[in-house]
Amino acid sequence: MSDVAIPLNGQRGLLHRPAKAAPGLWGWLTTVDHKKIGLLYLGTAFIFFVIGGIEALIIRAQLGGPNGHVVSANTYNQIFTMHGTTMIFLVVMPLSAGFANYVVPLMIGARDVAFPRLNAFGYWTFAVGGLFMYSSFLLGGAPNGGWFGYAPQTVKAYSPGHNIDFWVFGLQILGIASLTGAVNLIVTIINMRAPGMSFLRMPIFVWMTLVAQFLLLFAMPVITVALFLLMFDRLFGANFFEIQAGADPLLWQHLFWIFGHPEVYILILPAMGIVSEVLPVFSRRPLFGYSVMVISGVAIGFMGWGVWAHHMFATGLGPLAKSAFAVSTMLIAVPTGVKIFNWLATLMGGKIRVTTPLLMACGFVGMFTIGGLSGVTHAIVPADTQQTDTYYIVAHFHYVLFGGSIFGLFAGAYYWYPKMFGHMLSDALGKLQFALMLIGFNMTFGPFHILGLQGMPRRIYTYPAHRGWDFWNFVATIGSFIIALSVLVFIINVIRSRKTAAASADPWDARTLEWSISSPPPEFNFAHVPVVTARDDLWHRKYTEDEGGRAVPIQPPPPSNQVYDEFDEETAAGIHLPSPSFFPLLASLGLAVLAYGLIYKAWPVVGLGALWIIGAIYAWALEPATAEVHDEIVQELEPEPVEVAP
């Protein structure tokens, strides 16, 4: 390359696009910046969180008293199906993906993910999949077969409308998004770590993300197969689930739960990772038992594949199979318990700054423990035959997925908000939100344990009086509105934050690399690729230990450019970045066209969709992945070794 002098932002045109992202809406539509994509994930998922929450409020309004008639049976079945589907596929998964996208490259000292355009494609496919599924509300009715979609209830004979079709195709599209995201993050984590960041120096959030992405990589194909079978049944009468044609009704359930149980860990592991970052920072101590935390996370990842049939204890497994899955289910509680005790040990003896992220993380530990304990009662198979498909189960998984994942994700939101937006969220409002959420959460889901033990089934749109369920249902309904209030406080907090003072690079005196760069980070993240010499590298640039093992600030304090990544405009101007592209968005839209065509069996539309996707991917493949840049510059930017405390 000879034309070194040409400024990069001078290369415009269809195939020579600017290294600097376009401003405004077009910039967001074409971005391949992992940070912007992370924010898109988080923002979109939060909107779906509000929608799924409104669905939950409708459910609670209906069940607040006996013989409720806020909505009809038909509407209720759509609402509860979409509530579950939304919260799992459109909220917790993309929120985790959002944090992973934003934070993982920063934590491992990378300038972007491995496949930036694939990353954009993953986000747009998720957004398109979510909108596609929600378009069903306008097109004759939303999915109504439950998030688990048991066949034969979901075959054409029993669900003749297009409701289930939207569910099937929506999930297929979302599956593509998850798979591409998983591949991208796995490659990023394995290949793009900064020099010196060995696997056992990786922040635990990166580890848990890695495990979750491997679970996705292997679990999504299973549900994809199941959905294809159901799709062929519904479109072409393929008889995979047609009982009269000799199908076995348990085929769907096995496939679904072989996906479904690892899915639970896909939902919880990233939140566990967040908590494992937040607790050390605010206790001012390293994570207790880092390697055990890594091993237990990986162990959960493996064992998560051996427990699926505990969702099926009432389906007629033989006593030997029941015993085996009972024991495996009990065993998976062991690595989970180890994590909880290690978190407690991290807190114990620390110097705990009681901030909102810490409270949210403690909320996770406290509430997730309850969910874990009720989970053990499901392993007691005979007891499970009394509990399964009752509100006891609803209580259990809300303690895991709300008490666990959502509390953990809010901890992450409060923790990383200053990094993402350069402003602090109000701690006072945050604590108010935490208090409301904790109270509302326990008021809503605590009584579900009692209701379930009193025999209240799940997925009923109404119940009669004189079952003894009125009081606790009423309490739960009030609790759900308190949760809604707490989310409102969060929204207010976010809106108000624009007026608060700018956050420094390292407002929490934190431990990991994302806090060594400015808030918000520059487009290229690190002007100088960091050289990692320790786990919690940033902390060790600031502190050392005295003979008693106490942390003491390094004396004399190192110059700030040795702790933080400082740069001048000249350094920044030469950094090579992947170029924006609109082809990922275009390819994603093609998926929706194809799916609409298949649902309505409009074959020309199917053809158009297929051509659309192929065309978009072809154009994507042909455009140069990056604007031309000069190896010389990149080499010049190779990091200088930074001296860091051991």
Determine, following the binding rule CB under 8 A, whether residue 498 of this chain makes contact with another protein. no
Between residues 350 and 507, which has the closer beta carbon with respect to another protein? 350
Block residue for tokens 């969709």: 609
Answer for which of 459, 572, 621, 624 binds another protein (CB under 8 A) is 459
Q: What are phi and psi of 640, to 5 degrees?
A: -85, 145
Check residue 366 for interaction with another protein (CB under 8 A): yes
Instruction: For the segment 417-436, give every residue that binds another protein (CB under 8 A).
Output: none
Region of 90-98, 120-128, 215-223, 320-328 interacting with another protein (CB under 8 A): 320-328
Q: Please, are residues 588 and 125 in contact by the beta-carbon 8 Å criterion?
A: yes
With H, G, I as helix, E, B as strand and everything else as coil, classify residue 138: coil
Is 531 among the residues that bind another protein (CB under 8 A)? no
Question: Could you say which residues in the range 387-406 bind another protein, by CB under 8 A?
Answer: 387-390
How many Å is the maximal CA-CA distance in the chain? 85
Verify binding: residue 286, another protein, rule CB under 8 A. Answer: yes
Residue 458 in the binding site for another protein (CB under 8 A): yes
With contact defined as beta carbons under 8 Å apart, do 537 and 513 qualify?
Answer: yes
Q: Of residues 231-260, which lie at the interface with another protein (CB under 8 A)?
A: 243, 246-250
Of 291, 555, 560, 635, the one binding another protein (CB under 8 A) is 291
What string of H, E and C letters represents the secondary structure of 385-420? Answer: HHHCCEHHHHHHHHHHHHHHHHHHHHHHHHHHHHHH
List binders of another protein among 208-227 (CB under 8 A). none
Decide: is 305 part of the binding site for another protein (CB under 8 A). Answer: no
| DSSP codes, 424-457 | PPPHHHHHHHHHHHHHHHHHHHHHHHHHHHTTPB
Cβ atoms of residues 414 and 425 within 8 Å: yes
**557 near another protein, judged by CB under 8 A:** no
Site string for another protein, 154-193 (x = CB under 8 A): ----x-----------------------------------
The single residue among 46, 126, 240, 472 that binds another protein, judged by CB under 8 A, is 472
Asked if 315 contacts 254 with a C-beta cutoff of 8 angstroms, the reply is: no
Question: Could you give the CA distance from residue 112 to residue 105 in angstroms, rounded to a whole number?
Answer: 6
Question: Which residues, 6 or more positions from 161, have their beta carbon under 8 angstroms from its beta carbon?
Answer: 140, 141
- The answer to whether residue 521 forms part of the interface with another protein (CB under 8 A) is no
Query: Binding residue for another protein (CB under 8 A) from 54, 183, 235, 344?
Result: 344
Q: Does 136 bind another protein (CB under 8 A)?
A: no
Bridge partners (DSSP) listed for residue 626: 578
Choices 98-106, 259-267, 451-459, 618-626; region in contact with another protein by CB under 8 A: 451-459
The Cα–Cα gap between 343 and 403 comes to: 16
- Residue 561 as a binder of another protein (CB under 8 A): the answer is no
342 binds another protein (CB under 8 A): yes
Tokens of 387: 């509990």
Taking the C-alpha atoms of residue 210 and residue 170, their distance in angstroms, rounded to an integer, is: 25
Q: From the CB of 48, what's the least distance to another protein, in Å? A: 23
Which residues in 65-84 contact another protein (CB under 8 A)? 72-74, 77
The rounded distance, in Å, linking the Cα atoms of 441 and 38 is: 27
Which C-beta is closer to another protein: that of 548 or that of 559?
548
